[in-house]
Structure 1
Amino acid sequence: MIRPEDLLHPTVAGLYCSPGDFYVDPVRPVDRAVITHGHADHARVGHGAVLATPQTLAIMEERYGENFTERRQASAYGETASHNGVEIRLIPAGHVLGSAQAVISWQGLTMTVSGDYKRRRDPTCVPFEPAPCHVFISEATFGLPVFTHPPDAEEIGRLVQSLGQFPHRAHLVGAYALGKAQRVIRLLREAGWDRPIYVHGAMERLNRLYQREGIDLGPLLPASGLGKDALGGEVVVAPPSAIQDRWARRFADPVTAFASGWMGVRARARQRGVELPLIISDHADWTELTDTFTELAADEYWITHGREEGLLRWCEINGRKGRALRLVGYDEEDDEAAGSDPGPEKAG
């Protein structure tokens, strides 16, 4: 009888597949890596070989340069790659552009590494795809019942309402450079905001990449070279750190907003000085996590980088086998670049 630990187990470098001799989202340079998505705590530079979706490889090249790895292997959603008799199939995770779950199969055992994921609609990436497996390895960023995120359209509606109430104030929206910024822009477009949206320079390259991938962000303009008290009544999207920096002082009496699942915690919003908290997350909330567990009906659930205790208790109550994996090196929040530096970022 093959045990799950014979196929995947945690090491100091990350989750290791012994028979396949590769790691999934390793936290230090390794010979062979499978990368689930482009956020900096999962996609690191210096691996000998990287297997990922074409979009994730493009994101890594954009952020780290063309020499981010010695060898790259693009694997489209649904394709099967094989190494040392272990099959690897990438399927959509619904987190950001190109994000994937790694479905790993060997000698009749299938384990799915979710990476980061969410279940609600996102106009900038392919939705999460459930797949049968014996063991599902899940994130738990918002793994407590208190985290139930409202509909995205309602949160964007609050931003649009504020623009109408304060037409002379610039609205600065803090949003992480990969995934969240583009999602906020698309949601604004769907809400009817057709005016140019101004963006921080740190976001321009990734915005162009999204547009090359066919995601229409509408008219965007640089939020630079502007005079004092600029952009009253306009929307500016910037890294969260920038809206609290001297950079933000050039704008007209700015309304500071921040798009994150953590904005449901009032103390965090107050701590950041956020006037308009927007609860928009790229991670599954409690309901999405537990609905996913129920839908998959796996034999085991391994829970990592987040609040494992809540989901472990859910597994116990519902007669399912759960285990805290306790991988290190993954942040609770996704990707923030204050400038062009593609260093570690993590958002809600």
Structure 2
Amino acid sequence: MTAPAPDSWVTPCPPDQGGGLWVAPGGFHIDPTRPVGRAVITHGHSDHARPGHAHVLATPGTLAIMQARLGEGAGLHRQPLAYRQPIRIGEVTVTLVPAGHVLGSAQVVLDWRGSRVVISGDYKRRPDPTCEPFEPVPCDAFVTEATFGLPVFRHPPVEGEIAKVLHALSLFPERTIVIGCYALGKCQRLITELRRAGYDHPLYLHGAHLPLCELYRGQGVELGELRPATATDGAAMRGGIVLAPPSAMADKWLRRLVDPLPAYASGWMRVRARARQHGVELPLIVSDHADWDELCQTVRDVAPGELWVTHGSEEALVHWAGTQGVKARPLHLVGFGEEE
């Protein structure tokens, strides 16, 4: 019997019907943008993990993050599924494998009647001490993000970006380096990379970052000594490093620090105009998403029969795939891309 075409059973869902992707023979959505009866969630960022679903299936790490961020909105019934443990939902076998994006992040592997579709969620290919690395899974259709899906985006080694921070500390010991970064994933990765580079002094955190750092610790990620920046005198943080949400960088909260040196950790810091727009003196190109080369390499590794591209620079990756003989199309899913 011929296996069914991937697009005959996995389809984009209109926002007014729940959004995300609809898996018809399983009767569930993947990363729906509105409350639905049954949802499979790839990871805990707010553009993928929305509140109000009746049944939620995700990794234990993602469910812990959703509980911490959404409380009762994390789902009426929450079902943890460990990596690489297949489960049957309706007629579909569902397996979660690591995506390497943040703690608990997963690709969703779907098998039905000999047809396999893999939904990547968000992912990266660089080593990250805070989460399990991405695992390529060959499939008939691969649904990939393309946040940095343009050839201009080639992320440098993270070790060099961390070295910039430590060099700035030695050059300006009288200043306080303040790094804008997302509370989930980026903050904890920066901390572990600073520790790995030998920085063993206390790190100061904006109050918005502390709860998730404690959650990471509870999941076995070692972060060293962390102190609340809001409870510490500004002068005491001189010559130190503070991590804060990007939104706090333009807030009056920053004024209490002594001669702050604003930094920002993001793949978008490759674009100088963005750094200037945010008033960043020290742009750090540190991303939790695959860059252009890694997106292309992932397509080669997965070797899909079809490539479906969503949220990001879809057309560029679709065009490249076509030059490689891979049938590809954009999905134009709505509601993804802004993580916080």
Q: Secondary structure at the match of 1:288?
A: helix
Verify the 8 A CA contact 2:148 2:291 in the aligned structure 1: yes
Q: Secondary structure at the match of 1:214?
A: coil
Equivalents in 2 of 1:105, 1:228: separation in Å? 55
Equivalents in 1 of 2:138, 2:325: separation in Å? 18
Look up the match of 1:7: 9
Alpha-carbon distance, 1:66 to partner = 4.1
Q: Give the counterpart of 1:19 among 19, 25, 36.
A: 25
Equivalents in 1 of 2:262, 2:277: separation in Å? 13
Alpha-carbon distance, 1:130 to partner = 0.7
Structural mapping, 1:290-301, within 5 Å: 290-301=296-307
Alpha-carbon distance, 1:171 to partner = 0.5
Alpha-carbon distance, 1:241 to partner = 1.0
Question: Structure 1, residues 273-308: CA drift from partner, whole Å, max 9, x if none?
Answer: 000000000000000000000111110000000001
Q: Secondary structure at the match of 1:215?
A: coil
Verify the 8 A CA contact 1:226 1:250 in the aligned structure 2: no
Amino acid at match of 2:273: A
Equivalents in 2 of 1:217, 1:97: separation in Å? 14
CA RMSD, aligned part only? 0.9
Alpha-carbon distance, 1:11 to partner = 1.2
**TM-score, normalising length from structure 2?**
0.97
How many residues align? The count is 334
Look up the match of 2:52: 46
Alpha-carbon distance, 1:226 to partner = 3.5
Alpha-carbon distance, 1:227 to partner = 3.6
Alpha-carbon distance, 1:67 to partner = 4.9
Equivalents in 2 of 1:228, 1:276: separation in Å? 20
Equivalents in 1 of 2:58, 2:8: separation in Å? 23
Verify the 8 A CA contact 1:169 1:254 in the aligned structure 2: yes
Q: Give the counterpart of 2:147 among 132, 141, 151.
A: 141
Equivalents in 2 of 1:172, 1:58: separation in Å? 28
Q: Secondary structure at the match of 1:315?
A: helix
**TM-score, normalising length from structure 1?**
0.94
Equivalents in 2 of 1:244, 1:19: separation in Å? 48
Question: Structure 1, residues 109-135: CA drift from partner, whole Å, max 9, x if none?
Answer: 000000000001011100001111110
Q: Secondary structure at the match of 2:316?
A: helix
Structural mapping, 1:176-195, within 5 Å: 176-195=182-201
Alpha-carbon distance, 1:248 to partner = 0.6
Q: Does 1:277 align with 2:303?
A: no
Look up the match of 1:338: none
Q: Does 1:58 align with 2:64?
A: yes
Verify the 8 A CA contact 1:8 1:15 in the aligned structure 2: yes
Q: Does 1:264 align with 2:270?
A: yes
Equivalents in 2 of 1:132, 1:225: separation in Å? 50
After TM superposition, the structure 1 stretch with the greater mean CA deviation from structure 2, 2-11 or 106-115, is 2-11
Look up the match of 1:131: 137
Q: Does 1:158 align with 2:144?
A: no
Equivalents in 2 of 1:226, 1:78: separation in Å? 44
Equivalents in 1 of 2:254, 2:192: separation in Å? 23
Verify the 8 A CA contact 1:229 1:253 in the aligned structure 2: no
Q: Give the counterpart of 1:69 among 62, 67, 75.
A: 75
Question: Structure 1, residues 143-202: CA drift from partner, whole Å, max 9, x if none?
Answer: 011100000000000001000100010000111000000000000000110000000111
Question: Structure 1, residues 197-224: CA drift from partner, whole Å, max 9, x if none?
Answer: 0001111110001001111000000001
Could you tell me the percent identity over the aligned residues? 55
Question: Structure 1, residues 238-263: CA drift from partner, whole Å, max 9, x if none?
Answer: 10111221001111100000000000
Q: Give the counterpart of 1:217 among 219, 223, 226.
A: 223
Verify the 8 A CA contact 1:136 1:298 in the aligned structure 2: yes
Look up the match of 1:245: 251
Amino acid at match of 1:234: G
Unaligned runs of 5+ in 2: none
Q: Does 1:37 align with 2:43?
A: yes
Q: Secondary structure at the match of 2:208?
A: helix
Q: Secondary structure at the match of 1:123?
A: coil
Amino acid at match of 1:7: W
Equivalents in 1 of 2:6, 2:234: separation in Å? 60
Equivalents in 2 of 1:67, 1:329: separation in Å? 18
